[in-house]
Amino acid sequence: MLNHGLSRMPLRDRREPLSRREMLLLSAAGVLSLVDRSASMECDIPMRDGAPAVDYHAHIGEGISVDDAIAIAKRRGLKFGLLQHAGVKGHGYAVTNDDELNTWVQSLEGKPVFKAIEAEGTDWRPSFTRAALAKLDYVQGDPLGVPDKSGVPMRIWEPQFRVDDPQAFMDRYVDYHVQRISAEPLDILVVPTLLPIVLSADYERLWTEERRRAVIDAAVTHGVALEIDCRFRVPSLSFLQAARAAGVKFAFGSNYQTSAGLGDISYCIDMYKRLGLTPRQFFCPAPSGQKAVERR
């Protein structure tokens, strides 16, 4: 049984920084590895007006080059995480194997950006080796391609998408959130909780406490950050409050692919301040050896 005075330490909020005495006691007990070390990890994230000045969801393509994105980031006073869509060959993704991944990483070397991919589908992982993926700063994925009953990915973001049975859709959608979080080595789940336009007015009712808890618990258990997405303005404040209380970490994403929208993190900053978040509750790319693709 661990002792060394730990039994006399009071229970505390898991987000509260550890005191020097507690750190020493935990180190002496040999259990420091079990403690969230994010407070002591250096993270190259700029701050502006009391909030992180970073957009982790900046796509390259559709007329925006790496240099264009860097110029936009500089103009907005931000640091970008630049992304390419990645997945199984034959589906139109820019990155489908190690050679293409290495080319993408090399194109960003020495530039003031984070290097990342957006993993598409649930079958992307075998397309890449762990060594190649470890060259990235992070990997993100979204739940928007939730499959229908026949296993075909749906396109729930399209305005014309319709839902016959909202409750059945929600159950399938929540399960897909949890699947992506728990079964894949993702660092960030992006665009979480987005509903089809036809259901968006019922967001608070359809995202019941039980459904919210399933996604939030999975994120905490597997150490996956949830994106605050500016383009679609999700999750809602109430969902974010529940996630914050559970100890989830958050990331900002503009999720735009146009020069006008890229880097717009206004909704993210508003939620960050309304939630009273601190940098310790914000996603920081892990150092070598501790990235999701290396741990899982």
Given this model, what pLDDT does residue 257 score? 84
Given this model, what pLDDT does residue 43 score? 79
Given this model, what pLDDT does residue 61 score? 83
Given this model, what pLDDT does residue 62 score? 79
How far, in Å, CA of 288 to CA of 131, rounded?
11
How far, in Å, CA of 236 to CA of 229, rounded?
10
Given this model, what pLDDT does residue 44 score? 76
Question: Which tokens go with 113?
Answer: 């950006």
All domains of the chain in start order, with CATH: 47-295 (3.20.20.140)
* CB atoms closer than 10 angstroms to residue 88: 15
| Four-point Cα dihedral 157, 97, 186, 91, nearest 10 | 20
Q: Which of the residues in the chain have pLDDT under 70?
A: 1-42
pLDDT in tens, 92-131: 999 999 999 999 999 999 999 999 999 999 999 999 999 9
Given this model, what pLDDT does residue 42 score? 59
Contact 224/189 with Cβ under 8 angstroms? Answer: yes
